[in-house]
Homo-oligomer: A and B are copies of this chain.
Amino acid sequence: MSVLLRNVPTIRFQRHMSVVASVLRYSEFGDPAKVIQVQQETVADPSNGEVLIKTLGAPINPADINTIQGKYPVKPQFPAVGGNECVGEVVAIGGQVGGLKVGDRVVPFATGLGTWRSHALYKESNLMKVPNSIGTVEAATITVNPCTAYRMLKDFVSLKAGDTVIQNGANSACGQAVIQLCRAWGVDCVGIVRDRPEFSKLRDYLKDLGAAEILTEEELRTTKIFKDGLFKKPKLALNCVGGKNALEVSRHLDNQGIMVTYGGMSREPVTVPTASLIFKDLQFSGFWMTRWTKENAQNPKRAEMFSELFELIGKGVLKAPAHELIAFTDYKTAVTNALSIQGFVGKKYIFTF
């Protein structure tokens, strides 16, 4: 089917086309390699306010895998289509569509839409046009990690140039976005990663991205970079690990500092000493991009965020994470390895159709 579709010119056709889409669908929770099936289905012509897109790239994020496993708190209605972000090209528009035209590249920013499909119908109001300066991979991966990084850096403390942010999981896709945004804003980002054979290579890579310092979890325990005044004490800590490492990270926070948790890779809870709450006035909060998106559909801060992210991507200041394009027909390989493929930084699979 996808072969057929690749041969269809994508720019010219308007309504009354018969488009057959390939869809990665599942009807029960379980091992994604087993429960996902490739299905073909005819996509209706776009109605008023609707836009038909052809998917150019759709990443596999950890939360997508967890959702299919049934381990994620958001439970889809069956049958469900995997995936939560993509970039597509407009191939047809319905009536009363004013802001988009055939050939535009767009990203959907509602979540739970099911993006692992070759074609999809979206409401125009759920799509955002992507400037030509933005590459396919950058656009396909903008709504989860760069947005998460952006909001966590903007919404909890007021950061100014010269302030310090500390984060663990600094090599994650989100961690890399945090590092690059900090550099763009003049904020010192100190990143923590697990020790590994290629640590020095990873450290150099992340420092090249813009990290002020990269430490192993071990090094963090004894570091004097804050005591010695090499960096200001962090106002903000970003935590996607939990457990002992989150505790160690929180010890370095300045008075009134905030730790924002957005993941828990160690599967251990965050431990908070009573004294740090009472006498250091630390605050522990969480962040979930899905909720932010849902609650801020009409918030001008959303457009402001994308505009700034597009500008930074356009300038080459914010780069896509390490990735590998993979045909959707190879979905078994992709979903099986998605949580484990590693270079010295993590690598993200991106479906092509």
Contacts and interface: CB of A to CB of B under 8 A. Distances in A.
A133 interface: no
Interface stretch (A158-166, A264-272, A303-311): A264-272
Contacts of A261: 272, 274, 277-278
Contacts of A288: 278-279, 281
Contacts of A95: none
Nearest to A271: B269
A291 B284 contact: no
A284 B272 contact: yes
Interface string A268-300: 011111111111111111111001000000000
A331 interface: no
Contact of A286 (B269, B277, B287): B277
Main secondary structure of the interface of A (DSSP, over half): mixed
A201 B277 CA distance: 33
A70 to B, nearest CB: 14
Contacts of A263: 274, 278
Interface residues of A, number: 27
A197 interface: no
Number of chain copies forming the complex: 2
Contacts of A269: 271-274
A73 interface: yes
B291 A281 contact: yes
A169 interface: no
Contacts of A262: 278
A287 B273 CA distance: 13
Contacts of A274: 242, 261, 263-264, 269-270, 286
Contacts of A73: 275, 279
B284 A284 contact: yes
Nearest to A286: B277
Contacts of A282: 286
A281 B286 contact: yes
A282 B287 CA distance: 10
A284 B277 contact: yes
Contacts of A285: 277, 281, 283-284
Contacts of A286: 274, 276-283
A281 B289 CA distance: 11
Given A242-B274, A278-B288, 20 more contacts: A73-B275, A261-B272, A263-B274, A264-B274, A264-B275, A270-B273, A270-B274, A270-B277, A271-B272, A274-B286, A277-B284, A277-B285, A278-B286, A278-B287, A281-B286, A281-B288, A281-B291, A282-B286, A283-B284, A283-B285
Identify the 7 closest CB pairs spanning chains A and B, nearest first: A277-B286, A264-B274, A284-B284, A261-B277, A278-B286, A270-B272, A73-B279
Interface of A: 73, 242, 261-264, 269-288, 291
